[in-house]
Chain A
């Protein structure tokens, strides 16, 4: 078990009160696993991802434990987390395009960052160059400023940089959404390659695009309104999803080969609840076609089949 999360709860502090962005998330990740984290915007997937590395100004740690390789991450302690960051747990942020200091040459920035983390830059240098080759970046990029790189190149540079110290866990947050399909494909394939080469042990790939995940992830976890809905191996999610939300979500995705004139797809009616004052029980209740009275209680996230976790009363009932 490389990552083990129990009851992780993180709220957002806002004027009107606390936004329950992540509620009692418990799941684990095995070594070498690439887990896709999917869900609509505002479902808490980014909150989950970033809380594992850096709670930003308005995020409040409420409860829960995070064990990485058996060690507990003090995610509530900004300073205490420092030693884990980069080395144990690393991040490719959503904003990879602007993640590098615009006024420093990239190599110099990497150098300064590495030294600041008490590593020997010269020692790392050969590995850095190998990895640049791997992502097909010329070594000259180190002498360039970020602005001189194209979007795809910056994306790759950040990928290399984030994984340079071989972290145990890598969080890749919406890294493909700004890219063209062709580049998207290359970047995603590279992530897998990084895993294969053991630059990182396990990975959480956050995206709203399930079809991307279907290509690269070993497992997919679906979130809805701050709660975990379902987690299962990729194939299972795509073909045999059990949570009504997952099912609806998958069925609403247009695919090449489906035409409006031949088959009309449908979205999920309604909209997600406000997390400022979330409904009690299953949060998908209002939009769920199969909801019943039991759903006023929070469904636990249970392993119904092997590696297949679901949080749905109806499913529990049927399974039982």
Chain B
């Protein structure tokens, strides 16, 4: 359904834009119909940038994104609207997603205005009620209220309902539950999983590995804009191959058992390497060598459905 091919995003830095900074570097993966993919990475890994590029909120420096075979980088106006009627996003902060000075329902009004300008009011209202039910909200409880009168969980559902008003095929869920309380976040997550079972594809962006595991079939691990490992969730979680993934896994606080060893990785000053393995300076592997410093290791398939970008697995 959605195919990312070597997408790259660079920012110009310096006075006259002399230097460029890679936010995302040659990231490729695809998402099939009805699939949930977790995009996992720490802050600054470029995970949100990828989501924004799919949503055309950020321009792509190079590479392409195809939606059902069509390159989205050039679409405009009517085509863009058409694209948005299939591809939508939900973001981290539900409160910030609503214009604070208007009632929350306004986000639906906009949809009505922009996508279904000719739909009669009654018909629209029915559609809306249906969508709200679909996300498990009682319209009477949530309509005609200001955002701050709703809880974060309710609002997030609200925003998902907004996307569901359309003929939705693909949803970018960017950290949508990280600001929710523990008691409600799981319900939103369940809702996503529910939608998926109805055929929706989801790009689930998160920094929380346990959430990624809970919901997705496949996971993509990002570090500094580069994919270091990707594959089926089980394989990545149970046999992480890349030292970075391993470190991440080791850092997850489990309720049932304590951390194994003391880590000293504080992610302090990290050397900037533009050519070469992005993880080079933090890499604890004994085997890391000059080659890692010089070349970017490509993703290689170590086992079916499990790819890793580390020089240890090159040959």
Given contacts A252-B186, A253-B182, contact A210 B266 (CB under 8 A): no
Within 173-191 of B, Cβ neighbours of A (below 8 Å) are at 181-187, 189-190
Chain B residues lying within 8 Å of A40, measured Cβ to Cβ, are 181-183
CB atoms of A260 and B237 under 8 A apart: no
Known contacts A136-B266, A209-B253, A252-B186; A258/B259 CB under 8 A: no
**B2: shortest Cβ distance to chain A, in Å?**
21
A267 touching B237 in the complex, CB below 8 Å, given contacts A180-B267, A181-B251 = no
A→B interface (CB under 8 Å): 40-41, 136, 150, 152-153, 156, 180-186, 188-189, 208-212, 214-215, 238, 248-250, 252-261, 264-268, 271
Docked complex Cα distance between A132 and B189 (Å):
41
Q: Is B128 an interface residue (CB 8 A)?
A: no
10 sampled A-B residue pairs with Cβ under 8 A: A136-B266, A152-B266, A152-B267, A181-B251, A182-B263, A256-B254, A258-B210, A267-B187, A268-B184, A271-B184
> Does the CB pair B184–A215 fall under 8 Å?
no
> B264: CB under 8 A from chain A?
yes
Contact status B258-A265, CB under 8 Å: no
Neighbour of B189 across the interface among A186, A215, A254, CB < 8 A: A254
B262 close to chain A: CB less than 8 A: yes
| Cβ-defined partner of A256 (8 Å) among B181, B210, B265, B266 | B210
Bound together, the chains give a CA A215 to CA B42 distance in angstroms of 20
In the complex, are the beta carbons of A252 and B182 less than 8 A apart? yes
Question: Using a CB-CB cutoff of 8 Å, which residues 49-87 of chain B contact chain A?
Answer: none
Residues from chain B with a CB closer than 8 A to the CB of A150 are 267-269
> Is the pair A265, B262 in contact by a Cβ cutoff of 8 Å?
no
Residue among B183, B209, B213 making CB contact with A252, cutoff 8 Å: B183
A216 CB to nearest chain B CB (Å):
9
Q: Which one of B187, B190, B254, B267 has the highest number of Cβ atoms from chain A below 10 Å of its Cβ? A: B267
Within the complex, which residue of A211, A260, A271 is in contact with B254, where a contact is CB–CB below 8 Å? Answer: A211
Contact of A181 with B186 at beta-carbon distance under 8 Å, contacts A152-B268, A153-B268 already known? no
B255 adjacent to chain A (CB < 8 Å): yes
Indicate if the CB atoms of A266 and B187 lie closer than 8 Å. Answer: yes
Contacts of A152 in B (CB 8 A): 266-268
A-contacting residues, B223-256, CB 8 Å:
233, 237, 247-256
Interface membership of B92, Cβ < 8 A: no
> Given A255-B256, A256-B210, are A186 and B263 also a contact pair (CB < 8 Å)?
yes
A214 and B255 form a contact (CB under 8 A): yes
B200 within 8 A of A: no
The residue of chain B having its C-beta at the shortest distance from the C-beta of A187 within the complex is B266
Given contacts A183-B267, A254-B189, contact A259 B182 (CB under 8 A): no
Q: Provide the residues of chain B in CB contact with A212, threshold 8 Å.
A: 253
Inter-chain contacts of B251 with A (CB < 8 A): 181-182, 184-185
Say if the beta carbon of B215 comes within 8 Å of chain A: yes
Among A153, A156, A260, A268, chain B packs the most CB atoms within 10 A around the CB of: A260
B263 and A265 contact, CB distance less than 8 A? no
Tell me if A185 and B259 are in contact (CB < 8 A). yes
Q: Does B151 contact A (CB under 8 A)?
A: yes
Choose among A180, A250, A267 the residue with the greatest number of B CB atoms under 10 Å from its CB: A267
B250, chain A: closest CB distance, angstroms: 8
